[in-house]
A = this chain, B = another copy of it.
Amino acid sequence: MEIHPIAVFRSPFKSKFGVPRQSGLVEDLQGRIVLLDAYADSESLRGLDDFDYLWLLWGFSANRHQSATFQPTVRPPRLGGNERMGVFATRSPYRPNGLGLSSVRILAVEGTEIVVAGADLMDGTPIYDIKPYIPFADCHPDACGGWIEDAPWHELDVDFPEQLQAEVPAGKLPGLTEVLRQDPRRAGSKHEPTRVYHLAYAGLDVAFTVDGDTLHVVCVS
C-alpha cells in the first residue's frame, strides 16, 4: 500500500535529540501541523476545533538504519536499553512499517494549520493522517500499561541559572525546562559529568552537563 504525506509538522526540535519519547510527556511543548498544498483546504478541518485532542499518524523519518530483515524484538530506552521486548509490545520507531501514533492537544485551528501541544514529533516530520480523538472509543481509563507502567521513569533535577533563562523567549521556557527534566540523553548513558551536550531547541543552542541526577545548563546561545 502506497501512502502519501498530507501534512508536515513544525516543531522547536530541528533534530531528534531531545524530542520527548512519548506524546503528552511535555504538555507545554507547542507545535504546528501544516497541511500540504494538495490538501490545504480549510474545509477538511471543519468541526475539528470542537475536539480537545487529535491523533497523528506519522512517519519515523529520522530513522537512519532501518533493518532490511524483520527484527522481532527491540530494547526500549525506558528499560535502560538492555532488556528486550517484542516490537509489537513497544512504541519503538524500529518496526516493520515506520508509522508513529501520537495524540496531541488541539490549541487552535487556524485556516489550514493546527496549533497543538504535547507532541513527540521533530520538525519536518511527514504526517499521513489526522483523526479526531473520540473518548468513547479511544479512552480506557482502567487499562493496564504493561511493562511500561512497571518501569519507573527517571527524571532529572534541572539547574538552570536565571541569567541563562533570560536568553530563552518566555513562551518557550516551560517546554524547554520540561524537555531537560526528561533527560534527552541516550538510554543507559554513562556517568560523564564533564561531557557537554548540545540541544537544538527553537533556534537556540542549549549546552548542558549531567552529574548524577542533576542537569546543569551551562550556556544558551
Q: How far is the CA of A72 from the CA of B40 in the complex (A)?
A: 9
Chain B: minimal CB distance from A138 (Å): 6
**Assuming the A-B contacts A1-B2, A91-B131, A97-B6, are A50 and B140 also in contact, with contact meaning beta carbons closer than 8 angstroms in the complex?**
no
A83-104 CB contacts (< 8 Å) to partner B: 84-91, 95-99, 101-103
Closest residue on chain B to residue A33 by CB atoms: B88
Q: Does A197 contact B (CB under 8 A)?
A: no
Contacts of A148 in B (CB 8 A): 132, 134, 136
Contact of A86 among B22, B47, B70 (CB under 8 A): B47
Which B residues are in CB contact (< 8 Å) with A136? 22, 24, 145, 148
Interface assignment of A46: CB less than 8 Å from any CB of chain B: yes
Q: Which of A52-60, A163-171, A176-184 contacts B (4 or more CB under 8 A)?
A: A52-60
For chain A, residues 13 to 33, give those with C-beta under 8 angstroms from any C-beta of chain B.
Answer: 22-25
Determine whether A130 belongs to the interface, using a CB cutoff of 8 Å to chain B.
yes
Which A residues are closer than 8 A to B by beta carbons? Answer: 1-6, 22-25, 38-39, 41, 43-48, 50-55, 57, 59, 70, 72-73, 84-91, 95-99, 101-103, 126, 128-149
